[in-house]
Amino acid sequence: MTRYDDTLRHERRLYLLLGVICVALLGGALYLQYGRGEDPCPLCILQRYAYALIAIFAFGGAASRSPAGIGAARWLSMLAALGGAGAAGYLIWVQSHPSMSCGYDAVEAFVDGLPTARWLPSLFKVQGLCQTVYPPLLGLSLPTWSLIGFVLILLTLLLHRPLRHPSQSR
C-alpha cells in the first residue's frame, strides 16, 4: 500500500467522523425538542439544515475514492458550515436583543415551505420562536454551542491539508 493510499484512507475516515458528529448533533437537537420540550425556531431549523448538509457532504467525501470528490465534499461542507454559523450568529444576536424577532416572518415561511418540512416535519418544521431563550447548557446558550460547532468544523476543514493525487505533486 502506498503513502497516497494511506492518506486517502485517513482523509475518508476524517469525513466519516465529521458526518457521524453532525448526525449526533442532529440527534441531540431532536432530544432537546422532544425530550425537553425546547421547540425549534426558524433559525434553529436553518442550523439543522446546515448540519444535515455537512453530514451528507461528509459522507459523500468518505465514500469518494478521488481527491476531486473529497475536495468537493470539503468545499461544500465549508459552505454549509458558513451558512450555519451565520444562522447561529444571527440567533445569538436576536436573543440578546429582546425587542427583535424572527417569529412568523419571511424566514419561517421559507423554512416551512421547503419540501423537507413536509417530508420530515419532526426534524424540519418550525415550532418555536427565536426570542425564546432556553436554559443554558454548561453555561452557554444552544445557539452559542451551535456556533462553536460550525466554527470548529470550518477550522478543521480550513486547516486540514487537502489530499492531492500523486500525479499532481511536484
| Model confidence at 44: pLDDT above 60 | yes
* DSSP assignment letter at 37: -
| Phi/psi at 137 (5° precision) | -110, 115
The percent of residues above 90 in pLDDT, for the chain, comes to 42
Write out the CATH class of domain 3-120+144-162.
mainly alpha
Question: What tens digit of pLDDT does each residue of 103-134 get?
Answer: 556 677 778 888 888 888 888 888 777 777 78
pTM strictly above 0.75: yes
**Residue 139, amino acid:** G
Which of 108, 111, 103, 95 has the alpha carbon at shortest distance from 145? 95
Which of 138, 123, 137 has the alpha carbon at shortest distance from 39? 123
